[in-house]
Structure 1
Amino acid sequence: MRQPRRGLSVSTQCRATSTTAHSTTLDPAETEAMQCLEEGTQKLEEGDVQAAKALYQRSVDIKRTASSLFNLGVTHYHLKEYDEAIAAWKESIALQPSSPDAHTNLASAYIISPVSRPDLALHHLHVATTLSPEDPEIAFNYAAVLEACGRLEEALEQYKRSKEFGVDRAAMHIRNVSAKILGKKLQAAEAQSKGDSESSN
């Protein structure tokens, strides 16, 4: 699985950002929340994850928005605080269910956390592919988890989609999964023929 996407849950950007510079608001608390979000993004881009986390947390404390929770989740993930990342991304999705990035990141956290939950990861990757059907990285991640769960035909289909949309490394996985599928078919055929010969004796 790749690193989580950093960016607004309202877009497919891959770096953390908040709102546009010319955003207008009259509420001072909202202004401060957005400022913390902007400063947190700056710190994250500088590599200071702890400082970014503190600023995102402050933004969340002032006003819980999908984007502040999304970015807070990114910092938790980078700090290997997977339970906190999952909680932040789940709340971000509750506020904005249509974010493919939030679903993809949540799936990554479910896979990599100490108690892996591939079932939940598959659910969120399925949602993400539905929301963003032409995103090659989401298709690739979905394929990798399907393959790990032994769902080879579905994995092959997602690897093919990923390759079609431009992920070159998917080609190797297509060959590997195709070989696994063929191997399983040969094993099944051998078992069948062994069973048939034993029953005829």
Structure 2
Amino acid sequence: MFRSIAARTLRQTTKLRTSPAHVATARMHNPVPSSSRSLQRRWATGTTLASSTSDPAQTESLKALEEGTQKLEDGDIEGAKASYKRSLDVHRSASALFNYGVTCYHTKDFTAAIDAWKESIELQPDSADAHTNLASAYIMMPLARPDLALQHLRQAAAISPEDGEIAFNLGAVLEAAGHLEDALAEYKRSKEYGVEKADMHVRNVSAKILGKKLKEAAAEEAKIESQKS
């Protein structure tokens, strides 16, 4: 169940953070789960060479980073991965680590993706996208870790509280884990911040909560009746 939730959600970003994406491509530095469908990937572009420092190593690293991003946008995952690796060999940056993680995710090397995104967060602690992608990877692993996915989605939500997609992802994982009241709150927050598909999940989870309460009430009534007899 968790794996299907994250199948479409690594956000693809462009540098540090652009707008939320609904596509199933990882947020390049540009998991969204629906009740049982989507977390979203993101990827990062580097600073333009013109605005970079005069340090030859950083210039070379940025050039490789931009080459990798172009290859990733062209669908050349292995080529992008090699370019990002070359960038990291010269200079380790949050953006290169972030995007290297995206390519690892695409090739289903979830352990390497997680390691890259963790290191990216060490260099850029306020990256909500990196936490979102980590959540997706933890759900997609052969032995899923929804507990860690929730942990990172909560951190992402704390960093970007007005990001409706993150709230949606958090709601989906909470719903899958059976935390219906918390899931409902996140879906409502997601809807508030413009995610239209959240409306359907608000209705569905509300119906689940009502059904659960009715079932519990019926069970309690049956228990009382049995005690009378």
Q: When the two structures are superposed, what TM-score results if normalisation uses the length of structure 2? A: 0.84
The one of 37, 40, 52 equivalent to 1:24 is 52
The question of whether the paired residues in 1 share the 8 Å contact of 2:15 and 2:46 is answered with: no
Aligned match of 2:37: none
Deviation of 1:7 (Å) = 2.8
Q: Does 1:11 align with 2:17?
A: yes
Distance 2:57 2:133 in 1: 28
Instruction: Check 1:21–1:7 CA distance in 2 against 1; reply closer, same or farther (3 A cut).
Output: farther
Distance 2:161 2:74 in 1: 32
**Residue range with higher mean Cα deviation, 19-28 or 115-124:** 19-28
**Residue range with higher mean Cα deviation, 45-54 or 27-36:** 27-36
Deviation of 1:12 (Å) = 3.0
Alpha-carbon deviations, 1:123-172, whole Å to 9, x = none? 10001111111111111111000000000001001111111111111111
Note the 1:68-147 alignment, pairs <5 A. Answer: 68-147=96-175
Identity of aligned residues (%): 60
Q: Does 1:182 align with 2:210?
A: yes
SS in structure 2 at match of 1:137: helix
Instruction: Check 1:16–1:9 CA distance in 2 against 1; reply closer, same or farther (3 A cut).
Output: closer
Distance 1:80 1:127 in 2: 24
The one of 184, 188, 211 equivalent to 1:156 is 184
Letter in 2 for 1:121: A
The question of whether the paired residues in 2 share the 8 Å contact of 1:12 and 1:101 is answered with: no
Aligned match of 1:38: 66
SS in structure 2 at match of 1:168: coil
Distance 2:12 2:74 in 1: 13
Distance 2:16 2:52 in 1: 18
Number of residue-to-residue matches in the alignment: 201
Aligned match of 1:199: 227
Aligned match of 1:169: 197
Q: Root-mean-square deviation (CA), in Å?
A: 1.4
